[in-house]
Structure 1
Amino acid sequence: MLYPWQEGIWKNWQQLLDQGRLHHAILLVAPTGSGREALGKQLAKTVLCQNGITEPCGMCHSCRLFDAGTHPDYHHLAPVDGKQIGVDAIRQCNRWAVETSQLSGERVILIEQADVMGEAAANALLKTLEEPPSGCQFILMATSLDNLLPTINSRCNKWRLAMPAEADTRRWVESALMQSIPLETVRLNGRAPLATLQFIEQGQDIRYRKLLEAFAGFLNPPFLGVFDVAGMCVEEGHQSLKWLSYFLVDCLKWQQGVTEHLIHCESLPLVQQAAATTDPILLQSQVRKVNALLRQLEQQTGLNQELLIVDWLTGFMNQP
């Protein structure tokens, strides 16, 4: 099933399929929570379908196998346990690419989060993309191009999935939940509809609000509750630091006179309070540090997260 905000790209792909001009390596750049997996699998199913050209028929042997998750010519690769896609996994992809189709049709290799491939893995894939085997379709999906080798980019036909306007995302999520939601929640999730929906369904909106209130209270001298805030961050995971970073950036904007398009549009009293009590230079420094800490925690395992977060939080006590 495709989502409404995916129809534009899908129609373009259908036109290329109809004309026989679909590139052998499609690179779909889309944020987490955009439903990109559904779009990639729709393309894969269509390419493999024995009857359809621009739509999967849903009835042929290939479509039935695809729906059952047992299609022998469809190969799906994704990171495991948050680790990089390694060179061994890509070498297996390369072997799949040159194998003979078991259904005498096309072969499809879909790689999720291609932007977390290691350098050796990316170089191994590059060789196959440079000399693509006949009858093999690659579909790569990534959140950003920043961590993808430029040479991989240059060998793919790139497509960016734009998120709906925030009003449309809000309307879609409210329809799915049959309840109203804050605009702040939509902005916090980058207008990604599925991310916003999951944010509320999993109760993250409640935990986010509690963390935000605790953090804003901590920023108000005499800076009490540092271990409470750190513990909430550890319990929620790395994304909690993103939330705090967004909040601090809104505080900076408020100090500079920007009063519109803030993420925390429904938490303005907290933004105003923190902006009034925190030195602007210190605030800028703490934003840089929390973003650096986030990258460190995402790239390295086994670190004492609570200790590092407490160390960052105590930096707010160094008011000039």
Structure 2
Amino acid sequence: MLYPWQEGVWQNWQQLLEQGRLHHAILLVAPQGSGRDVLAKQLAQTVLCQNGVTEPCGMCHSCRLFAAGTHPDFHLLAPVQEGKSIGVDAVRQCNRWAVETSQLGAERIILIDQADAMGEAAANALLKTLEEPPSGCQFILLAASLDNLLPTINSRCNKWRLPMPDEASTQKWVEKQLMQSIKRETVRLNGRAPLATLQFIEQGQDIRYGHLLTAFAAFLQPPFIGLYDVAAQCAAEGHQSLKWLSYFMVDCMKVQQGVTQHLIHCESLPLVQQAAATISPMLLISQIKKANALYQQLDQHSGLNTELLMVDWLTGFMVAPTA
């Protein structure tokens, strides 16, 4: 079952399927939490279906195998671990799948999730297969953005962007799923991605983030009490907490410049205004840069003492003069 915001792209793909003009390499650009895998698998099942052309029949042998997750001609390539890259050896296996004979005598599908997580060597290994695609092999690549994909990969694919619903639509959809009201800033914090917003609330992250935000805003007021409490909360959430706090600090900078519209923290404006009145613009810029650098460090290297590094970053608010 597709989500409402996916219908437009799906209808375009159906036209291409009906006309027999579907490109051998589809690149779907959509953020995590958009349900992009659901749309990609709908396309994959349709291509593999023994009866349907623009919709999977759901009843043929191929559809039953697909639903069971055991279809021999459907191959999924993704990072072994979240946040890790797709290695060259995995792509070489992908290339072997591409030239294999279909076990059901029809198409073969290779779905590459998080294709933007391919390293340069892995992307180059895939390039030749995309340039000279084997007959009967359909590639579907999923990426959050084009920034980390080689231009040569981009140029070999037919690119599609999955539009996210506007804030009001996302909020309404999530509220319908949960049967409760939610904050608009929760939608903004998750880039309007409906499933990401839903998961954020279902996992209680909205509550924990609210506690973190309150503690962080209180810490920013001299004499900077609660440093270790904030560091512990950040460490408990992982390096994602740095991205959240960066959004908060950017909102503080906007308020300092007289901007009060389109803030992510629209329902936490008093906390934003309180921090903006205390911390100097230069210090905010410096701490945002350090937070982004620390985020990258923690994202790329596991096993680091997150809480200690958080303490070191938070100390930066105490050593520079405030406004």
What TM-score do the two structures reach when normalised by structure 1?
Answer: 0.99
Aligned partner of 2:81 in structure 1 is 81
Aligned partner of 1:179 in structure 2 is 180
Matched, 1:140 2:141: yes
Contact 1:278 1:319 in 2 (8 A): no
The 3-state SS of whatever aligns with 1:290 is helix
Please tell me the residue identity of whatever aligns with 1:7: E
In the TM superposition, what whole-angstrom CA distance separates every residue of 1:170-203 from its partner, at most 9, and x where no partner exists?
0000000001111111111110000010111110
Aligned partner of 2:29 in structure 1 is 29
Aligned partner of 1:316 in structure 2 is 317
The 3-state SS of whatever aligns with 2:89 is helix
Greater CA drift, 104-113 or 140-149: 140-149
The 3-state SS of whatever aligns with 1:302 is coil
Aligned partner of 1:48 in structure 2 is 48
Matched, 1:70 2:87: no
Please tell me the residue identity of whatever aligns with 1:166: E
Matched, 1:149 2:150: yes
Shift of 1:169: 0.3
Shift of 1:238: 1.6
Greater CA drift, 79-88 or 130-139: 79-88
Shift of 1:98: 0.3
Shift of 1:288: 1.2
The 3-state SS of whatever aligns with 1:277 is coil
Shift of 1:249: 0.4
Q: CA RMSD in A?
A: 0.8
Aligned mates of 1:184, 1:153 — CA distance in 2 = 33
Aligned mates of 2:231, 2:122 — CA distance in 1 = 36
Aligned partner of 2:132 in structure 1 is 131
Shift of 1:226: 1.0
Please tell me the residue identity of whatever aligns with 2:180: Q
Aligned mates of 2:228, 2:29 — CA distance in 1 = 38
The 3-state SS of whatever aligns with 1:115 is helix
Aligned partner of 2:97 in structure 1 is 96
In the TM superposition, what whole-angstrom CA distance separates every residue of 1:103-149 from its partner, at most 9, and x where no partner exists?
11000000100111121111111110011000000000011111111
Shift of 1:319: 3.0
Aligned partner of 1:206 in structure 2 is 207
In the TM superposition, what whole-angstrom CA distance separates every residue of 1:268-296 from its partner, at most 9, and x where no partner exists?
11000000000011111111111111111
Q: Unpaired segments of 5 or more residues in structure 2?
A: none
Aligned mates of 1:223, 1:315 — CA distance in 2 = 11
Shift of 1:84: 1.2
Matched, 1:188 2:189: yes
What TM-score do the two structures reach when normalised by structure 2?
Answer: 0.98
Aligned partner of 2:306 in structure 1 is 305
Superposed, 1:206-245 pairs within 5 Å as 206-245=207-246
Aligned mates of 2:291, 2:281 — CA distance in 1 = 15
Aligned mates of 1:47, 1:258 — CA distance in 2 = 49
Aligned partner of 1:110 in structure 2 is 111
Please tell me the residue identity of whatever aligns with 2:122: A
Aligned mates of 2:238, 2:308 — CA distance in 1 = 14
Shift of 1:302: 2.2
Please tell me the residue identity of whatever aligns with 1:266: E
In the TM superposition, what whole-angstrom CA distance separates every residue of 1:209-234 from its partner, at most 9, and x where no partner exists?
00000000110001111111111111
Matched, 1:170 2:157: no
Please tell me the residue identity of whatever aligns with 2:41: K
Aligned partner of 1:57 in structure 2 is 57
Aligned mates of 1:72, 1:28 — CA distance in 2 = 23
Aligned partner of 1:272 in structure 2 is 273
Please tell me the residue identity of whatever aligns with 1:80: V
The 3-state SS of whatever aligns with 2:277 is helix
Please tell me the residue identity of whatever aligns with 1:54: T
How many percent identity over aligned positions? 80
Q: Unpaired segments of 5 or more residues in structure 1?
A: none
- Moved runs in structure 1, 4+ residues, more than 3 A? none
